[in-house]
Chain A
Amino acid sequence: MTTAQNDMPEVLIVGSGAGGAMAAYELTRNGHKVLLLEAGRDYDPKKETPMFKRNGDAPLLGAATPDKDFGFYDATIDGGWQVPNEPYTSAEGSEFMWWRARMLGGRTNHWGRYALRFSEHDFKGKSRDGLGADWPFEYKDIAPWYDKTEALVGVCGTNTGLDDMPPSPDGVLQPPPQPRVPELLVAAAAKKLGIPAVPMHRAVLTRPLDNRAACFYATPCGHGCSIGAAFQTTTSLLPMAKATGLLEIRTDAMVKTVTTDDQGQVRGVSYIDKKTGAEHSVTARVVILAASACESARLLLNSKTAKHPQGLANSSGQVGKNLMDSTGANIGALVPALQGRPIYNEDGHTANHLFIPWWGHQAQAEKKLDFPRGYHFELGGRFGEPGANIDTSLQGYGKDLKQQVKHKYGAYVSFALRGEMLPNPDCYLDIDPEVKDKWGIPVARFHWKWSEHELKQIAHGLKTAKEILTLMGAEVGELPPPEQAILKGGQIIHEVGTTRMGASKTDSVTNQWGQSWDCPNLFVMDGGVFASNPHKNCTLTIMTLAMRNSSWLSAQLKQGAL
């Protein structure tokens, strides 16, 4: 079935998460007719978010299960580390975890909302240390787009003046919430070591914006946010784009291939209506892939034809390559000084008010560190809502037992390291030659191996966190070796790089506008285009690039260039 010509959208977008929804917003705002395909079901956070629900009201006290990997109330629908009927595989000796969601808005419905700008330092790593790849633009080229994205999305935080945190113009950032006691204790201990702790930048409103309310400091953002305070595309960009009358959204539409004509030019996509199992074709002047880094790469590799024998847009051979996640490791300890402290409401915006940004640029420049790229610490520990944390270290019974629990309450502090990894030839995805999903689409196969760079970085992070915890009076014990401590590839859910942008078509998949070198009317606007993976979490930059590149695309369309 082919959509009739007069209904033909100008632009077809695959995916409704950070990149796809921003592209839909920017393009419809500029008068372009857009059809957006989403593989998951329709989702309305206003009706479906479990606001104020208690863990005790959920099955298993809200505990994580294979059906709901981040707990019962997590916003993710039909997803997590496995999606029903849609497997992926790992090559022998590799282990990679791939988080997906099958819902309108994708992973923006549950993400951590940490929204830190990359800096010139981040964009030009290769020029500095010879490793990985530079991005094909300067910080100053993208800074105005960060400004616009932050203002649209709503980001709370401050301009810290630190070299790892480029400033936003006055009035862009919303005020951050007050820090809480465990964060303030960490900040003091860190400062004694010369390490800063500053307000996190978070895509959570502390002031109303458009028709979204300010945060009321309750109910975890990972559950979704019915009042729109915590940013997700389903309460912001998608309704705004729909209000133009130029956006059509089709959910349960699983794209199978990007279709091309006999000359190899991109025509549209072919998708499966998951409700009926029927396959449909749609055409458009331009196709934008924003299905997530790995899904878009899979799609391109599965779209190979005689004209594109290595897969679509893959004359460079780079599609699926350069797969990166953030490094991750966790360390924590009971802090005796925090035991029995006065209780107050420590929910806040339910994530970091303070965090520790990367402080080691100078030490790296002076070659004092044995790893090339930075990391940050996210801080955990507060009077949380009781739930399914099963503490098997308790002793005894009766009144003494309850006293132990109360004494420990709010006294455990944890550090979550999130670091930059470098691309390496062992980390990539290709298409599994055997396995297909329920829809008959060949699945992604992952290959993964951390390099020494990441392991040395983790070792440094663990040692540093231990020093801070020790200054706080905690007993940390012996540190695990980094090979053991480092989390699995994909586990931080910051996978990027598989359709990277660059300055040359020989070693990159797209130009700086996310436009395929091989097919000018094919764009990628998800994390796949990242040339490197700075430690600062990818979503803000995915949105910023999607806005900038959709604006450029709009100008091209208006000039008749495509």
Chain B
Amino acid sequence: MSHKPEQGAALQPYQTNMSRRQSLKLMAALAASGMLPALSGCDTAPPATKTAAPTGALTEAHWPDLNLPPLTGPGYGTDPNLILPPESPWPLTLTPAQLGLLALVADILVPREGAVPSASEVGVPTVLDEWVSAPYPRQQQDRITVLSALAWLDDEATMRFGSRFAALTRPQQLAIIDDIAFDTAETKPQFQRMAKAFALLRGLVVAAFFATPEGTKDIGYVGNTAIGGDYPGPTPAAKAHLDKILSELGLQEFAWKA
């Protein structure tokens, strides 16, 4: 074996550390699911170009046709306890390999910035596992998209560079991400479908991140806290900004008066 490529950080198994979802049950489920095949996309639908030499060259269009049986378990019902929401409302379904890949991608999307943790550090992959494992129609639809996107990443990595996504060097990983992370007029035709799937995955990761206490602090939301007396309204800085934009939009003379 010759020189081993620098490996992506997420070859470390993803371990949840999110408070509500940190449970022995979950860890047991993750351990048990280690018996399962890594990614159904690679197992069931070998890409047409698999035999081509991995040169790093751009691939042709491909899509993993996953055969996912529907999740038919119960939801949390029409009268759940709202004060103590269910810890784990339905069985989680992602394999450790899928969670690991998800953690890697989530951290490319939302990396650590100084004191602000990355997506995987605040348990985002577990939130997405809960999302794609939910027995509701929207989430079942998203499950197909998210799992297909994960499988696509490994297929693409294998075709382009000869290894699964997690085993690629960071520049190799980013070469693929750069092709799919911008859904614009310039997106190459073979990446357009994946760019749309990636947009959903990104939207879910971003929502899950900012809904954590750390993410909520990072975006700056300061509400959901009791105020004594009257609601104070905009701060002086917010009022000054409003005055500025009213002026720029030619609306100052129409400013609202009580």
Contacts and interface: CB of A to CB of B under 8 A. Distances in A.
Interface of A: 41, 48-50, 52-61, 63, 65-68, 72-73, 77-80, 83-84, 158, 175, 177-181, 183-185, 187-189, 191-192, 197, 206, 215-219, 223, 337-338, 341-349, 354, 383-399, 401-402, 405-406, 409, 471-473
A83 B196 CA distance: 35
Interface stretch (B38-46, B64-72, B197-205): B197-205
B207 A54 contact: no
Interface stretch (B7-15, B50-58, B93-101, B133-141): B133-141
Contacts of B111: 398-399
A510 to B, nearest CB: 33
A399 B112 CA distance: 9
B1 to A, nearest CB: 32
28 contacts: A50-B82, A53-B82, A53-B85, A56-B208, A60-B134, A60-B139, A65-B75, A68-B80, A80-B78, A184-B234, A184-B255, A206-B230, A219-B224, A337-B249, A338-B245, A341-B241, A342-B237, A343-B221, A344-B235, A344-B238, A348-B231, A385-B223, A386-B219, A391-B206, A394-B202, A394-B203, A399-B111, A409-B219
Contacts of B48: none
A298 B245 CA distance: 54
Contact of B232 (A178, A187, A215): A178
A66 B75 CA distance: 9
Nearest to A338: B245
Contacts of A345: 222-223, 225, 227, 232
B211 A65 contact: no
Contact of A344 (B203, B211, B234, B251): B234
Contact of B183 (A58, A218, A354, A395): A395
B199 A59 contact: no
Given A217-B231, A344-B238, A390-B200, A406 B220 contact: yes
Most buried by B among A80, A197, A344: A344
A98 to B, nearest CB: 15
Given A61-B211, A191-B256, A390 B78 contact: no
A188 B257 CA distance: 9
A406 B219 contact: yes
Contacts of A406: 219-220
B83 A50 contact: yes
Given A397-B177, A397-B181, A472-B249, A61 B208 contact: yes
Given A79-B78, A184-B242, A386-B221, A177 B136 contact: no
B241 A56 contact: no
Counting from the closest, the 7 A-B pairs by CB-CB distance are: A178-B233, A347-B223, A56-B211, A187-B256, A386-B210, A50-B82, A216-B226
Nearest to B182: A395
Contacts of A66: 75, 136-137
Contacts of B199: 392-394
Residue from the set A41, A53, A392 with the largest chain B CB neighbour count within 10 Å? A392
A346 B220 CA distance: 12
Given A192-B251, A391-B207, A383 B231 contact: no
Contacts of B27: none
Given A65-B134, A180-B234, A188-B246, A48 B82 contact: yes
A392 B206 CA distance: 10
Given A188-B246, A388-B207, A396 B241 contact: no
A395 B219 CA distance: 18
Contacts of A48: 82-83
B177 A218 contact: no
B234 A181 contact: yes
Contacts of A56: 20, 127, 208, 211-213, 215-216
